[in-house]
Structure 1
Amino acid sequence: DVRTGEEDESVLYCHRAKLFRIVGGEWKERGLGDVKILQRKDNGKLRVVMRREQVLKICLNHHLTKETEYIPKDEKSWLFHAADFSEGEIAHEQFCIRFKNLEVAQDFRKAVTDAVNNAGGGDKGTKDNACEEDADDEVVIISETKVTPEEEREATKLGLPPKFFSYRQLPDC
């Protein structure tokens, strides 16, 4: 079984969004995927999590409290500061999250407000717009991409993903 760390949490909100982070005075795209507001079933604590589509790597992971302030950037985007833990250690970052349209952006802000105002009471259930979860869904890993240590070093030296040279193991076209 693959564990995501979200098994003991209820999904209060889930919608596709694009996340940006300020780096060196410029906005850099951090990821595109589903942003979720999660609530722990045992103590009611809230967090906001976002995973990049396809690779499912966490690109946003922070506690949601009354102190977390979402400021409108434009009609589809929210600015916020958070102590993010997506890279494995806490880093204070400035983010911008952008949604498809005004309605979705407002739904997100309402979900944040509702979650914070209702926090602390344990499991509140899931909302209608939460990601659908099917208990029968299972992730099955059918293969693992492997490269030699030399190929990994070469790729890293060239600024490529570590498993870039895995294509060499595939049959010719």
Structure 2
Amino acid sequence: LFLKRCRVYRYADEAWKERGVGEMKVLVQPQVIPDGYTSGGRDVLPANVSLNNVQRARLLMRREQVLKICVNQPIGIDIPHFTPMGSADNSMCWVGEDYSEGSATHEKLAIRFKNASDAEEFQAAVQRAQNYLRNSS
């Protein structure tokens, strides 16, 4: 649903620490692929294509060059809940269970995009994934 370059930070030891730079993805796993749609690996699902029976959705990001996973979070019907970071309209933060280190840990994360339109697209893609999950349950 979404694929853009960004920076992710985590809140640790009373400060924001950079977790990585790379492409954030909003991924969904439908039970059935829509008729006539063929994906080419890095394609973003167009807004006019709707999915039914979505089993799972998640946020996934790998660090550039080393390709280590730095964000791996499930998307639920009501999580993540984004809050703006100060007056910057190109960044937001949220709290969630992150599985990038193997086991689940509750972390406060922040994401920063190059411009505000990318941040709005990201938030819209997460809401779209949440709507698919809501309609599938």
State the structure with more CA Rg.
1
Alignment map for 1:23-172 (pairs within 5 Å): 23-42=12-31, 43-65=54-76, 66-73=78-85, 74-119=88-133
Q: Match of 2:10, SS?
A: strand
Correspondence 1:21 to 2:14: no
Q: CA deviation at 1:16?
A: 0.5
Q: Match of 1:111, SS?
A: helix
Using the alignment, how far apart are the partners of 1:81 and 1:19 within structure 2?
Answer: 13
Q: CA deviation at 1:120?
A: 6.1
Q: Match of 2:100, SS?
A: coil
Unpaired runs of at least 5, structure 2: 32-53
Using the alignment, how far apart are the partners of 2:62 and 2:79 within structure 1?
Answer: 23
Q: Work out the percentage of aligned pairs sharing the same amino acid.
A: 38
Q: CA deviation at 1:67?
A: 2.8
Unpaired runs of at least 5, structure 1: 1-11, 123-173
Using the alignment, how far apart are the partners of 1:120 and 1:109 within structure 2?
Answer: 16
Using the alignment, how far apart are the partners of 2:73 and 2:21 within structure 1?
Answer: 17
Supply the AA of the counterpart residue of 1:17.
C
Q: CA deviation at 1:31?
A: 0.3
Q: CA deviation at 1:40?
A: 1.5
Q: Which runs of 4+ in 1 moved over 3 A?
A: none
| Contact kept in structure 2, 1:45 and 1:120, CA below 8 Å | no
Q: CA deviation at 1:121?
A: 6.5
More strand by share: 2
| Contact kept in structure 1, 2:79 and 2:96, CA below 8 Å | no
Using the alignment, how far apart are the partners of 1:120 and 1:107 within structure 2?
Answer: 20
Aligned residues: 111
Q: CA deviation at 1:115?
A: 1.3
Q: Match of 1:100, SS?
A: coil
Q: CA deviation at 1:72?
A: 1.2
| Contact kept in structure 2, 1:19 and 1:95, CA below 8 Å | yes
Using the alignment, how far apart are the partners of 1:67 and 1:57 within structure 2?
Answer: 24
Supply the AA of the counterpart residue of 2:7.
K
Using the alignment, how far apart are the partners of 1:102 and 1:39 within structure 2?
Answer: 24
Supply the AA of the counterpart residue of 1:78.
M
